[in-house]
Amino acid sequence: MTEIGATLREARMRARIDVSEIEAKTKIRAKYLRALENEEWDLLPGPTFVRTFLRTYAQALDLDAKTLVEEYRRRYEPPVDVEHQPVVSTQRTQQRARQRPGRSPSGRSSRGYLIAIGVVGVVIVLLLVGLLSGKGGGSPNKASGTVTQTASTHTHSTVTPVPTGSKETGTSSTRVALSLHPSAPVYVCLIGDGGNKRIPGLILQPTYTPVTYHASRFELTLGNSSITMYVNGKPLTVPASSKPIGYTITASGRHTLPASQQPTCQ
């Protein structure tokens, strides 16, 4: 069994590399690197970040990143539950199929089946009497009017008017779907509704698996322009800049933040 943290620590020590050197090389904070070596997964933002940081750290030490990531998945990520469908006995199903409808297992006609046949017979007789009496002396116009009224009533009862400008539609139209796709290492601080830190000041690598976040308003700080953001599925690039870049993102669009208003996630 591969000890993930011990493998990383021993490889780093054999290479005589300090944690600060790995931090500078991978752009991953030293506290996260130590958490990986100590297998303190709760100190990391989540399984997606663990896999990304683990892969980047292993590659920096010339280790087999794929093996370490798979070992983490196997040991620490919960298995996917598989819904088991009930198994029906084939023999029992065949026995039911051989039984004739309306008959009990003993072969005698059930009482409910006989009653149903009687009711159907009475309905047929009443329909025939109604048709014959309508053809003989009834008023065709009156009968036609009754049928038309019934059809009209049925039509109106099945149509439900949909109010325009409902509250639910208005709420969904003000929310924004945002995902980030880095092309090179880039610092990201992303804050959603209520000050919730969706990405709490991390270095995202090109191997980062994008996650789609939803909120009515986002505040975003980027360390550089090596990233493409998708707002409601529409790609938006970031202009090149030598300084951190800040935005607010709402349903009305993307707006640049001055340096004094950019979030820091600290």
Q: What is the pLDDT of residues 219-263, one digit of tens each?
A: 988 888 999 999 999 998 999 887 788 999 999 999 999 988 899
Q: What is the pLDDT of residues 129-159, one digit of tens each?
A: 666 665 554 444 443 443 334 333 333 333 3
Query: With 50 as the cut, is the pLDDT of residue 23 above it?
Result: yes
pLDDT greater at residue 85 or residue 209: 209
- Give the range among 1-10, 82-91, 120-129, 160-169 with minimum mean pLDDT: 160-169
Q: What is the pLDDT of residue 87?
A: 44
The residues pairing with 176 across neighbouring beta strands, listed in sequence order, are 215
Q: What is the pLDDT of residues 102-126, one digit of tens each?
A: 454 444 555 777 787 888 888 787 8
Structure tokens at 91: 């023999």
Q: What is the pLDDT of residue 144?
A: 40
Query: With 80 as the cut, is the pLDDT of residue 15 above it?
Result: yes
Query: With 50 as the cut, is the pLDDT of residue 195 above it?
Result: yes
Structure tokens at 57: 């750290």
Q: What is the pLDDT of residue 82?
A: 42
**What is the rounded average pLDDT of the residues 15-32?**
94
Q: Per-residue DSSP letters for 104-145?
A: -TTSSBPHHHHHHHHHHHHHHHHHHHHHHHHHHTS-HHHHHH
Q: What is the pLDDT of residue 182?
A: 92
Q: What is the pLDDT of residue 2?
A: 66
Q: What is the mean pLDDT of the chain?
A: 77
Per domain, the residue ranges of the chain are 4-76, 172-261
**What is the rounded average pLDDT of the residues 91-108?**
52
Residues 101-118, buried b or exposed e (16+ Cβ, 10 A)? eeeeeeeeeeeeeeeeee
CB-side exposure of 38: number of CA atoms within 13 Å? 11
| pTM recorded for the entire structure | 0.39
4-76, CATH topology level: 434 Repressor (Amino-terminal Domain) (1.10.260)
Using a pLDDT cut of 70, give the percent of the chain over it.
70
Label residue 57 by pLDDT band (50, 70, 90): very high
Query: With 50 as the cut, is the pLDDT of residue 204 above it?
Result: yes
**CA atoms of 118 and 146, how far apart (whole Å):** 28
Q: What is the pLDDT of residue 209?
A: 92
Query: With 90 as the cut, is the pLDDT of residue 25 above it?
Result: yes
Structure tokens at 245: 């870049």
**What is the rounded average pLDDT of the residues 8-32?**
93
Structure tokens at 176: 């924004």
**What is the rounded average pLDDT of the residues 156-178?**
55
Q: What is the pLDDT of residue 232?
A: 92
